[in-house]
Amino acid sequence: MIDFWIILTGALVASCCGILGVFLVLRKMAMIGDAISHSVLPGIVIAFLISGSRESFAMLLGASLLGLITVFLIQLFQQSGVQSDASIGVVFTALFAVGVVLVSLNARQVDLDLDCVLYGEIAYVHWNTWSLGGIELGPKAVWLLGFTLLIIALIIGLFYKQFKLCAFDPTLAAALGIPVALFHYVLMGLVSMATVSSFESVGAILVVGLLIIPASAAYLLTDRLGAMLIWSVSIGIASTSLGYGAAVALDASIAGCMVCAAALLFVLAFLFSPKHGLIARAVRRSRLSQRQAV
Amino acid sequence: MIQHIVAVVADPNTQWILAGCMLLGLCSGVVGCFSYLRKQSLMGDTLAHAALPGICIAFMLTGTKSLLLFLIGAGISGVIATFGIGWITRYSRLKSDAAMGIVLSSFFGLGIVLLTQIQHSSYGNQSGLDKFLFGQAASMIGADVYTMMIVCALLLTVCTLLFKELKLFAFDAGFARGLGYPTALLDQLLMLFIVIAVVVGIQAVGVVLVAALLITPAVSARYWTDRLGVMVVLAGLFGALSGALGTLLSSMVQNLPTGPLSVLSATALFGISVLCGPRRGVLTQAIRTARLRRSERARLRELSAGTMRKEAAS
């Protein structure tokens, strides 16, 4: 049963991140995902200090707000002439430092250690259950992640066409009257929500791995957005399950093994993808040169 | 307040930490300028995360904690990481940001797996290796600072000697290649500089925040000047100043780590630069706009007065 809950939690994290990661990779904003996952830390700590519990919707809200502030600040500095790379770096490191300082200041009264924030505690997921009227309803983390996944699926599903157009051709989308900036911020809000609800399970830093790696592997495997979403989610789920197995076998960090498994699957896609893989390209090139020689 | 600062500076333990943090800020500020101009600011972040498995493997192989060995281990894994990013961007259709994200997170994941392996197995001397994640400037000792001094002196010397080459490379790599400069070598050299700055910084500031010392002072310096020489000196100064401020602040309040405070000091300096920088600063721009508006308004008033006078005359 413990294994089941851990794998289910991993699968939920992978689905949330896999869906959003696709849009981040397509819009070339992978590092903004990284920035958000670091800078939600002060939001998490402040919400935790106010509400006093880890799985609260207040935390979700606080951190989403922080994510939006991050994106806003990054854009503000970019518009004032700072390079986009550098403005990402300045903003997220500053916010992360604020978070670390807040945690250290309240280390005594806060049961929120940095290790948990960084690596997550997916192994303890099943201890923290939610019961309603005496009935055990399963781990809180699963409920929180399920809720987040529902919101993500709902918003992406309702505005699929708009998100698709914004991902591939923002200029055309703007010309057609789609509020591109609004969708940008909605996407960023969803990314921060996904980060926050996953941070306890896999840790704030390794969320980045699950956001970017499966989506990038999916990008190498298909040319269609729908197929890419499915590939990304299934690669994510495969890597969390594989990673959990490896972690049990090696007695190592579960979150670390999950990201390593995702990296392994990415390398496989990079080498053996039927269309964009390294080997397929080499074969195509050698065939072409043979034909030219004839 | 001032008494406290004097007491802190007089304390020999704090002197080492202060010296170490200032050296670190100086080096990373200087290196950060070049990587900022090469539009590779986030490379520092990536290489910092990528250094973790190298450090862990260096520790597993030797069982000792020494800055030099960690430097070698982190250097090797940093080089592998840069090659990884290069391969992904060259041989697939993924862009550099995705490539950086992939390399960063997979190396960091590997590093965390190795770190838990170290913690679970019987490496006697392991306590404190996890301090590398967030840094613990207080653990810096004299020997570390000596190593840092040598490394920083070497780095600054090479930067000064190759200043002209690096300058051209940073601004116009294509032109540099056209002139016959070994740009691939310069690129690798710059990566090596970043790795060195990162590894030197990891002990004091930690893997996650060391990138800030590479990026923030350089961006702040950019607000004050348009000349590379001035920018490099300013960024070095800003870096050293934020290292010193971080150390002093953390010695005043208990439980506050030095690294994040140094980063926040650097951010505060950045904020001041954004507001007050000549030409680009927000305040100076506002003043200039206001002045321009006033002079234009005066000109308009004079013009309209002139036309009215003419109309009256006709």
Predicted confidence (pLDDT) per residue in A45-95, tens digit: 888 777 766 656 777 787 788 888 998 999 888 888 888 888 999 999 999
Contact B221, B238 (CB under 8 A): yes
DSSP A127: G
The residue among A100, A239, A270, A276 with the most chain B CBs within 10 A of its CB, best to mutate, is: A100
Residue B36 lies in a domain: yes
Tally the domains of chain B.
1
Please tell me if residue B53 touches chain A, with a CB cutoff of 8 Å.
Answer: no
| Phi and psi torsions of A137, nearest 5° | -110, 10
The pLDDT mean for chain A works out to 85
- Report pTM: 0.86
State CA A168 to chain mean position distance: 20
The residue among A71, A75, A66 whose CA lies nearest residue A199 is A66
Longest Cα separation, chain B? 103
Per-residue confidence (pLDDT) for residue B265, from 0 to 100: 94
Contact A219 B218 (CB under 8 A): no
Q: Which residues lie across from A129 on neighbouring strands?
A: A139
Q: Give the residue-averaged pLDDT of A99-117.
A: 70
Nearest to B207, CA basis, from B155, B277, B135: B135
Helix axes B12-37, B142-161, angle to 10 degrees: 30
Which position has the token pair 């894994």? Answer: B77
The answer to whether the CB atoms of B134 and A258 lie below 8 A apart is no
Q: What is the pLDDT of residue B15?
A: 82
Nearest to B215 among A86, A100, A276 (CB): A86
Q: Is the minimum CB–CB distance between B80 and chain A shorter than 8 Å? A: no
Alpha helices of chain A — where are they, by DSSP H? 2-26, 30-39, 41-51, 57-79, 84-105, 114-119, 140-158, 160-168, 170-175, 180-202, 206-221, 225-250, 254-272, 278-293
Q: Which helix (H) or strand (E) holds A131?
A: strand A129-132
Distance CA B118, CA A202 (A): 20
- Per-window interface: B 147-186 vs A, CB < 8 A: none
C-alpha distance from B184 to closest chain A C-alpha (Å): 22
**Shortest distance, CA A82 to any CA of chain B (angstroms):** 7
3-state secondary structure of A136: strand
Q: Does domain A2-129+157-293 have CATH number 1.10.3470?
A: yes
Query: Min CA distance, A166 vs chain B (Å)?
Result: 18
Q: What is the model's pLDDT at position A64?
A: 82
Would you give the DSSP letter of residue B93?
A: S
What's the CA gap between A20 and A215, in Å, rounded? 8
Whether residue A83 and residue B41 make contact (CB cut-off 8 A), yes or no, is yes
Any idea what DSSP says for residue A33?
H
**pLDDT tens digit sequence for A196-218:** 888 777 777 678 889 999 999 99
Separation in Å, CA of A85 to nearest CA in chain B: 6
Indicate yes or no: CB of A94 within 8 angstroms of CB of B97: no
Cβ within 8 Å, pair A94-B93: no
Whether residues A94 and B257 touch (CB distance < 8 A) is answered with no
**Residue B130: predicted pLDDT:** 62
CB spacing of B212 vs A93 below 8 angstroms:
yes
Would you write out chain B's pLDDT as a tens digit for each of its 314 residues?
A: 677 777 777 777 778 888 888 988 999 999 999 999 988 888 888 888 888 899 889 888 887 777 788 888 888 998 899 889 989 988 888 988 899 999 999 998 898 888 888 877 766 555 566 666 667 767 777 777 888 888 889 999 999 999 998 899 888 888 989 998 888 888 888 888 888 888 888 877 887 788 899 999 999 999 999 899 999 999 999 999 999 998 888 888 777 788 888 999 999 999 999 888 887 888 888 899 999 999 999 999 988 888 888 888 87
Q: Which residues of B touch A228 (CB under 8 A)?
A: none
A239 band by pLDDT with thresholds 50, 70 and 90: very high
Alpha carbon B196 to its chain's center:
11
| Domain boundaries, position B20 | 2-215
Tell me which residue has tokens 């539009």: B39
Q: What secondary structure letter does DSSP report for A267?
A: H
Any domain includes B15:
yes
Tens of pLDDT along A123-178? Answer: 677 667 766 666 666 777 788 889 889 999 999 999 999 999 998 998 999 999 88
Chosen from A93, A105, A115 to mutate, greatest number of chain B CBs within 10 A: A93
At residue A132, the 3 state secondary structure works out as strand
**CATH number for the domain harbouring residue B94:** 1.10.3470.10
Q: How far is A262 from chain B (nearest CA, A)?
A: 8
User: Rounded distance, CA A215 to CA A235, Å?
Assistant: 8
Q: Residue B225: inside a domain, yes or no? A: no
List Cα–Cα distances, A216 to A13, A174, A219, in angstroms.
Answer: 17, 26, 5
Nearest CA distance, B43 vs chain A (angstrom): 9
CB contact under 8 A, B97 and A105: no
DSSP label at A129? E
Distance, in Å, from the CA atom of B243 to the CA atom of B59, rounded to the nearest integer, reads 27
Cβ contact B218–A107 (<8 Å): no
Q: How far is A135 from chain B (nearest CA, A)?
A: 36
Residue B303 lies in a domain: no
User: A205 vs B105: CB contact, 8 Å cut-off?
Assistant: yes
Q: Which residue matches tokens 């991993």?
A: A10
- Alpha-helical (H) ranges within chain B are 2-10, 12-37, 41-62, 67-91, 96-120, 131-134, 142-161, 163-171, 173-178, 183-205, 210-222, 228-252, 258-276, 282-313
Whose tokens are 């003419």? That residue is: B310
> In chain A, what are the domain boundaries?
2-129+157-293
CB contact under 8 A, B112 and A34: no
Per DSSP, A177 falls in state T
**Whole-number pLDDT of residue A150:** 94
- Does B119 touch chain A if contact means CB atoms closer than 8 Å? no
In a domain, B226, yes or no: no
In a domain, B276, yes or no: no
